[in-house]
Amino acid sequence: MANSTDLYVSLLKQCSEEILEFTKNAKNHDSQFKFTDFNQKCVNVIYDNLGKENIIKPRQELFDPIPGLHETCTGCYKYYMNPRNRFAKSLDIKLGKKFEVFFVDYLNSLGIPSGLLEEKPLNYPDITIKNKSGKIVSRCEIKYMAAPFLLLYKKIPGRECYEGSNTLDVGKKIAKQRNFVENEIDVPVFYIYWLDFPCVKGVYFMPSEEVYEYIDSVGGMEFERKERSGDFVTTKEGEKKKLSQTSKVYLPLYKMQNFESLIEKFKELSGV
């Protein structure tokens, strides 16, 4: 069984050409869609070591244990503190759908039967995992994250961008999805995060029960971000309609399991 790093690197290798073509007109961060020795060091120190002890240190205290982090943080701030999200939300949704396809294709390449639901109630988890006979044995949501929440430490004291940028919208969609998961879906559901930050990268996940427990533990919401122009579209009737959710929670990286554990679970559930 490949470890989490090997799995993530092979995922990138399989879809990198298509990712770069699909995002060629976007202004990507220099580190996106790459995994270096520096990223491995970040994962080792932050996820493996600090995460095991559930210690959140101010990121400045990690500059010495992680050579190169100071310079990376400086570039990260310069890039991500500029105004973003001016594009139409519909384009962001298309990009998210593309990453779902990349992930499903990768699972199938590992021999794990999976696909995307074509006809489903709105807000159902999009990815399905099946067994050899075609029966659905798990459902998943996957979220690609490249922009860390740099000011998290100000908004939620005690948290840091490197462990708490796993954003989950908690508006009407998650409420409807939770209702489906808890009352209609009789297989395990997982929330998967494809993290592509300048520091921490990889695939991490939480079972739906733990996600909902976390939402409840913080009172249903941790932060309400300001609305931006890209959050709205104009309908045929000329009315302004909000597409984006602005109520957020930030799932802790330390409570997430790694890519290797996810593949093990999928193989066990699907019987491959």
Residue 231 binned pLDDT confidence (cut-offs 50, 70, 90): very low
Which sign, positive or negative, has the C-alpha torsion 268, 44, 203, 212? positive
Residues 196/210, Cβ–Cβ less than 8 Å = no
Phi, psi for 239 (deg, rounded to 5): -90, 150
CA separation for the pair 212, 142 (Å, rounded): 16
The Cα-based distances of 13 to 33, 42, 149, 196 in angstroms read 9, 20, 27, 14
| Strand bridging mode 189-196 / 136-145 | parallel
Nearest-CA neighbor of 251 among 226, 229, 222? Answer: 222
Contact at 8 Å (CB) between 148 and 80?
Answer: yes
Q: What is the mean pLDDT of residues 170-189?
A: 93
For the structural domain made of 4-270, what CATH number should be given? 3.40.1350.10
For residues 169-197, average pLDDT = 94
> How many alpha carbons fall within 13 Å on the CB side of residue 233?
10
Q: How far apart are CA 158 and CA 118, in angstroms?
A: 41
Q: Is 120 left (phi over 0), alpha (psi -120 to 50) or beta?
A: beta
CA-to-CA distance for 15 and 101, rounded, in angstroms? 10
If one counts every other C-beta atom within 10 angstroms of the C-beta of residue 186, the result is 7
Q: Quick one: pLDDT at residue 245?
A: 56
What's the average model confidence in pLDDT over 22-37?
A: 88
Whose tokens are 């101010």? That residue is: 58
- Dihedral sign (CA 255, 258, 259, 264): negative
Structure tokens at 150: 């740099």
Q: Provide the CB-side half-sphere exposure for 175 (13 A, CA).
A: 8
* Structural tokens at position 270: 């699907």
pLDDT tops 90 at residue 181: yes
| Amino acid making up residue 2 | A
| d(C-alpha 253, C-alpha 148), whole Å | 12
Please report the pLDDT score of residue 47 as a whole number: 98
% residues pLDDT > 90 (the chain): 73
Greatest CA span in the chain, whole angstroms?
A: 57
Compute the distance between CA of residue 193 and CA of residue 143 in angstroms, rounded to an integer.
5
**Quick check: 83 pLDDT over 90?**
no
pLDDT value at residue 87: 43
Q: Please, what is the angle between helix 89-109 and helix 4-22, to 10°?
A: 130
Can you give the pTM of this predicted structure?
A: 0.89
Average pLDDT, the chain: 88
